[in-house]
Each structure stands twice: as C-alpha cells, then as structure tokens.
Amino acid sequence: TVSTTHALTAPDTGLAFSGGDLFFVDDGDIVSLDATGLTENWRTALPAGYGFTKGVVVAGGNVFVSTGLSVVVYTAAGGSLVVDTGLSAAQATSQQSLFVHGTDVVLWTGSLSDEQPYVVLDGATGDVSTSFAAAGYGVLGSDGTNVFVAAQSAPGVVGFDIARGYEPLGGSLSGYK
C-alpha cells in the first residue's frame, strides 16, 4: 500500500539516502525529503548553467552533486553550499562518476589523458584529499578500503587501496553470469 507520495517536476538523476532523508535533483534544484512522510526538508538551486546531473551521493554530512560543470557540495542538514569544487566529472559515459568511499567520495573525471583521473574528495569539506591514476573507466564501488573501477581493456575490475597506493585486486569478469 502506498502511504504517501511526493510530486517531482523534472527529476534529473537518482536518489541518495542518508540519516532518514532522501536527496535528489528536481528541475534544477537539489532537494531533501524526509523519507518517512516525504515532506520537503529543503530545496536549493544548483549553480546557473549546470547543464545536467550525473549523480548524487551523501558522505561526511554533505550532499555531493555531479553536474555538467562541476561537483557541487551542500550540507545535508540544511542545503547550504559548502564548496563548488570546480572539478568536472565524466560526462560522456554511462558509468557512475561519483561513489562513496568510507566518509569520502571518489570522483572519476572521465579524462583518460589526465595523469590522475581519479580524485578523492574529503566528505566533510569537499576538498581534494588525494588523486590516483588507473587504467579504468568509471567507479564501480568501494568496500571502505578499496575503490573498484571498471578495467579499460576487456571486462574486468581493478581495485585500489587508496591509503597504500596502487594495488591491483580482482581480475577478469569474462564468463561471469
């Protein structure tokens, strides 16, 4: 049985859930809803000309929104702007460009020509804490220690222990069903 609904004008991207709240982009605004009653906690406009959104994640008490221009960080509690990172996430791909890694966020810039196309953003501040190179394509996930990326060549997964540097983990997914 449906207990309550909330109308969306023009949802741009998926949902993120944290601390009993839902976060999403709707018609150019980042929105926070109470997940129980679907009442709006707050709504804040994205920067002008943001283009499109690629993903929304929550880490370190902040909401990270990947837009066509930059990754923008807002407080989860009230929607205040923390920082516009100026870092552009991958645009022309179906791969997720943001992923939670412990209390931080991993960003894939999508530029295979960059020396360090993967950037780790501090969850509390949105500042860059480190970056790393990988022959990968997008971020698949994290177990809190390792970040897993899709391998560039053949179906496969490559894992990186960010604290200790590059360490290949995992391997081919060929034959995976």
pLDDT tens by residue, the chain, 177 residues: 445 555 655 455 678 899 999 999 888 889 999 988 889 999 999 888 777 777 899 999 999 998 877 889 999 999 999 999 887 665 544 445 778 888 888 887 766 555 557 788 899 998 988 877 766 666 777 777 777 777 666 666 767 776 665 555 554 433 333
pLDDT of residue 33: 92
Task: Indicate left, alpha or beta for 102 from its phi (over 0: left) and psi (-120 to 50: alpha).
Answer: left
Confirm whether pTM is higher than 0.85.
Answer: no
Whole-angstrom distance, CA of residue 35 vs CA of residue 168: 39
Parallel, antiparallel or unpaired: strands 81-84 and 98-101: unpaired
First to last CA, the chain: 34
Strand order from edge to edge, sheet including 157-161: 136-142, 146-151, 157-161
pLDDT of residue 30: 92
**Six-digit token pair at 39?**
């009442």
pLDDT of residue 170: 52
